[in-house]
Amino acid sequence: MKFNQIIRLMNKSPKQLLLVLILGVISAYTLSLSQQKAQEHIIQGIVIKIIDGDTIDVLDSSQTKHRIRLYGIDAPEKSQAYGKKAKEFLASLIAGKEVKVISKGKDRYQRSIALILFNDKDINSAMVANGYAHAYTEYSKDYIIQEADAKSFKLGLWADDKVIKPSEFRKKKIKE
């Protein structure tokens, strides 16, 4: 709204002007909140610990530790075939490095589920593309192509003839 229009509204209808001003303040406040919320979903920090092939700890600039579960992938469990190799491969990519964490939400354990970028490289994708994690298709379809390529070239865990999805491995462990 232009200044002349505001002056005319002020002379003609103070109630209308008040309504316009209130709506303007609400719009500005809503925009501010949405921008703040968007910023809250991105963390820059140093990877201080590799828990396993799909979980890391990141320390941000305010010295807050964040437990992060990599979005869209499911790496073998530590006690599963390729579990240790998945953890080692992830460590070779980002341990001790500054990464960008783009949050996609929280899991049932209240860990952030996130896309991890290092030098603009999608680390989640690299884990699947190199055969160190499955595309977690129950939650995302983002890495299906990378998994298909890794399978066809028998990379990482796909070199094994008896590949078991980590989710199936966990279910089997619970039953035992």
Angle (CA) 2 3 6, round 5°: 95
Determine contact, residues 124/115, Cβ cutoff 8 Å: yes
67, 69, 88, 138: which one is catalytic?
A: 69
Of the CA atoms within 13 Å of residue 75, those in its CB half-sphere come to 31
Active-site choice (88, 98, 111, 170): 111
Between CA 136 and CA 35 the distance in angstroms is 30
| Catalytic status, residue 8 | no
Burial class (CB in 10 A: 0-12, 13-18, 19+), 7: exposed
The answer to whether 67 is a known catalytic residue is no
Q: Give yes or no: 77 in active site.
A: yes
Catalytically annotated residue among 8, 77, 98, 170: 77
Catalytically annotated residues: 69, 77, 111
